[in-house]
Structure 1
């Protein structure tokens, strides 16, 4: 193997991956280390920060041999978002578990916030007040570790997301990449900086927070991490979903991607000149990245995608692979619908009180039809978000997909049929890691933005084959079941406006 190489580290919820990427954007070596989740109480989801750090080291050792370590010119990170922890500044010792983005323990804190204040939060941050985001997690943690905030005010305690913590472990300053920072629900999107009103609302001292920096930045230099060469620079950090968008080459509005894993992130860039109030409230606004200027994105976060398939496979006592085969053995669900609101519904409903339901079941319902309904639910949820994108006056030329569930051919055909646009699945599966590699290589001078935009992105294209009447019937039945899940009258449509499919998304 001939260098130069870029090392990409993708720190996700279920594992940490490391990819060694050459100048042709080809993966020449990889490593992966699994991670566990802890659920000490219903609705609580935690991870161990030290275990995550050790998983990073293990993935690096698996991917990098001593023979090529000296040819690595840059390191890039993609990381899970919103998850939050506290650590001691002087030692980088964790003072709390990492509260996962999936954690719901702060729901009552969110519900106690007046509606007018919630509107203020949404207007400034682009995000609805929700346990998913970091601010209320940080408030909960500080209330238990530093109630009077004396240590946080003195800067002895650091509050941050996992990217901040990993940079600290690498010897870098207390910083956070701007895209990750925008998911903390403490940042005014228009200014790209912390908002004093939000810091006061959540009682988070500014001295405890990381400094916000661009996505391409001199984050740290490696020291004492074999087999890496001392001095190897970390030049890029991206949030995982943002990194996938970057890897798809979605540098202009119109290219939309749906990353599908445990949950799903439907995201695309939009013109910053578009007024914020034009974007439907079911869709978040966020910062995608900052290379030179800040790039803004819309996003819909769906809570249960791959986790729905895992849940049903476990319930039926089969593997997820067998579940996929079972779902493809029938032409449709025969009226069975699953709304997987196991922890409430995310975008575009943002209804924490919605409950998971299975409807349309009869004595003759088969296991295969229930399996098909689980697969259907993923496509419907993604199209729910796309509908809100459309009524916001934004467009979707094509839908680019990535993540484990996208290997399912039936699911991909359902997504294109229900969305009415082509779905493009690239050959490269590890898009978040590749996005981090591309940005790190950009920082190291291996590629220019023009080079990255021109990279071949071969893959399979799925095109719609369903007639409009069938599509509308399926969508109407889905909306009826979502209404039931949310406790609404079945005669009352959930909050969504009709999508005009006569034009382009």
Structure 2
């Protein structure tokens, strides 16, 4: 036990885990509850299982395919994704040794990709080969609907105010409009549309319950009371953009009840993150290998699951801003001021606020998506992990890098970081940052999501030579890392200038292991960077927390239900010797013999000499990991953008979008997050007068000028082309 007055944040992760394990041994009934998280990223499906102290017991991953038959037409299969999910869930249950009947909750997150089925829930092909019904998902990164996006944005409808001023080609309504323009009318009229996360909760429960996260963030729904909204979706807007089918079939019935029952007996409602949707459908329970008394929490976009899995972390050193928030704020309000940066192929930046804050080029503000009455904002970079992968794989020295890193038995990033340190010594430069002082790298290869919100933006590099050596690759990689950090600063500054008060950045994803990148992020933004306990698993861990929130909510409000009776039955006659420990090894009866120095899975990133402030810890994995990647280019953190869900052929509940759930729901979410997230490592920014920060500040002005110049050059040439056309 800790001494009175000793803060939880002052304890090591291992000590916290030991305490939680010891407490579990004292209270077996509570310790025997488990939750599953499911995360669907761009390239894989993942699942994890956690105990009710927040320890991951097992993790599984299975690749999923994507098809690109034409440029910008990128599709996936919902059948393949569901089968991959079932495989992963069964794997983590088997590998963890957890008694299946003691799994009480499951949560889902996924990329914002558009799932299309017909009115019998059969898959509908989304093109370019419409006869292939297996490919029924338009992936978030699909950019086919540029013309439709421009047409939508030309309306200047009030709903655009809540998506950063204009819809993105990666959102869902442009994709639906494209399908209307390209599918036969009789086929389009039968289509139902889901955001992928909402589709997964539908598959799991057979309940057509939509999340505020999907409908508000990516679909143009305005919660009741916002901008005078009485219907949620705007009838005028949908008619204006020539989608009257959605008006007729779904969105604009006046004052529907909080939970509506359609003619086929299905119910429809809208929920915030982790709220109770229902118990698993019998068929889904069998496919997943879970009990029917396992309940499902309302799903979220994958980046938002990263927010759930990181921003409540207690840091290894006290940070004044967080300490002040803990003293002056309560519940979910403590999450305000904490920016989650969920990094994978792309990076999403999510912040919560008590009041709406409008930021040009930043999506939102979105009310109720995480907690009732709170507003979320979402910035993002279209390619970060993908950028680093591109810079390395297209350089002539990439093959040499692969051989050298393999020979050294380290990642490509660690090898390049080490190479940069060697170059400092060989060239007599002041620091690693100074090696790229005359390289000006602007990396919007895939357009700009925030804060310019211009899909036409492209990369520009000033200072290249004909050098094809491994050293040139190292410096080009350094330039790409610097670009990611400078653009993060740009996004943070725009958000703060508009009214956000961001004091800390909570990272997640494989990029956290890149010590150089973390140092650049801290020094460019001037903010401390928090690296979570579960680096690679922060997103899927966040989904498991959604399952825990749903389970706690169910326990509070359904004490006399049949599911509760089954749960209690599953907790009787416990045999402690048959149960896994929180580390995944050995029975709980051995907890008293365990030492408080157990390593925590997914611990801190590799330390390099350029990032000495990051404390390295053991990277051991005391539980089975299936398909785990060691590279920071992993897509685990998932790329969150794109469509969201709704089905245009069934009645959907709208009245009470803002009030049907208790106003303290966010506090229940925060309580679970705070108790189960664990500790995080801090990377502090260098002092303001540090030479590297002075240099980065000077290069930031050049970075901004490169972005502005590109747009001015493009505009000038477009004027010339228009004159020529006349």
| TM-score, normalised by the number of residues in structure 1 | 0.87
Q: For 1:261 and 1:292, locate their aligned partners in 2 and report how far apart those are by CA, in whole Å.
A: 25
Alignment of 1:260-409 (within 5 A): 260-272=343-355, 274=356, 276=357, 279-287=358-366, 290=369, 293-316=372-395, 317=398, 318-319=401-402, 321-330=411-420, 331-332=432-433, 333-363=436-466, 366-409=472-515
Residue aligning to 2:700: 475
Alignment of 1:97-246 (within 5 A): 97-113=136-152, 115=154, 117-118=155-156, 120-126=158-164, 128-147=166-185, 152=189, 156-189=190-223, 190=226, 191=229, 193-200=232-239, 201=241, 203=243, 204-206=245-247, 207=249, 212-215=270-273, 216-223=275-282, 224-246=286-308
Q: Pick 1 or 2: higher relative contact order, CA cutoff 8 A, min separation 6.
A: 2
After superposition, give the CA deviation of every residue in 1:424-467 in whole Å (9 maximum; x if it has no partner).
11121222222222222122128774353244632221111245
Q: For 2:350 and 2:370, locate their aligned partners in 1 and report how far apart those are by CA, in whole Å.
A: 18
Residue aligning to 2:100: 69
In structure 1, the gaps of 5 or more residues are 491-505
1:337/1:358 contact within 8 Å kept = yes
Residue aligning to 1:52: 81
Q: For 2:370 and 2:37, locate their aligned partners in 1 and report how far apart those are by CA, in whole Å.
A: 17
Aligned with 2:68: secondary structure? coil
Residue number among 429, 434, 441 corresponding to 2:548 in the alignment: 441
Please report how far the alpha carbon of residue 105 of structure 1 lies from its aligned counterpart in structure 2 after TM superposition.
0.8
1:344/1:354 contact within 8 Å kept = yes
Residue aligning to 2:673: 452
Q: For 1:17 and 1:27, locate their aligned partners in 2 and report how far apart those are by CA, in whole Å.
A: 13
After superposition, give the CA deviation of every residue in 1:254-302 in whole Å (9 maximum; x if it has no partner).
1111111111111110122x4x5xx221222143755762431112121
Aligned with 1:31: secondary structure? strand
Q: For 2:121 and 2:149, locate their aligned partners in 1 and report how far apart those are by CA, in whole Å.
A: 32
2:309/2:677 contact within 8 Å kept = no
2:198/2:210 contact within 8 Å kept = yes
Q: For 1:198 and 1:358, locate their aligned partners in 2 and report how far apart those are by CA, in whole Å.
A: 41
2:104/2:293 contact within 8 Å kept = no
Bigger CA drift: 2-11 or 282-291?
282-291
1:125/1:188 contact within 8 Å kept = no
Bigger CA drift: 286-295 or 327-336?
286-295
After superposition, give the CA deviation of every residue in 1:156-176 in whole Å (9 maximum; x if it has no partner).
421111123223333522332
Tell me the number of residue pairs that the alignment of Structure 1 and Structure 2 aligns. Answer: 480
| TM-score, normalised by the number of residues in structure 2 | 0.62
1:24 aligns with 2:53: yes
Q: CA RMSD in A?
A: 2.7
| Change in 2 beyond 3 A, CA 1:267/1:350 | same
Q: For 2:362 and 2:123, locate their aligned partners in 1 and report how far apart those are by CA, in whole Å.
A: 36
Q: For 1:77 and 1:226, locate their aligned partners in 2 and report how far apart those are by CA, in whole Å.
A: 13
1:416/1:462 contact within 8 Å kept = yes
Q: Which one has a larger percent helix, Structure 1 or Structure 2?
A: 2
Please report how far the alpha carbon of residue 202 of structure 1 lies from its aligned counterpart in structure 2 after TM superposition.
5.0
1:157/1:208 contact within 8 Å kept = no
1:442/1:449 contact within 8 Å kept = no
After superposition, give the CA deviation of every residue in 1:334-393 in whole Å (9 maximum; x if it has no partner).
422332222211100111221222222135682221111111121112111001011112
Q: Which one has a larger percent strand, Structure 1 or Structure 2?
A: 1
Aligned with 1:46: secondary structure? strand
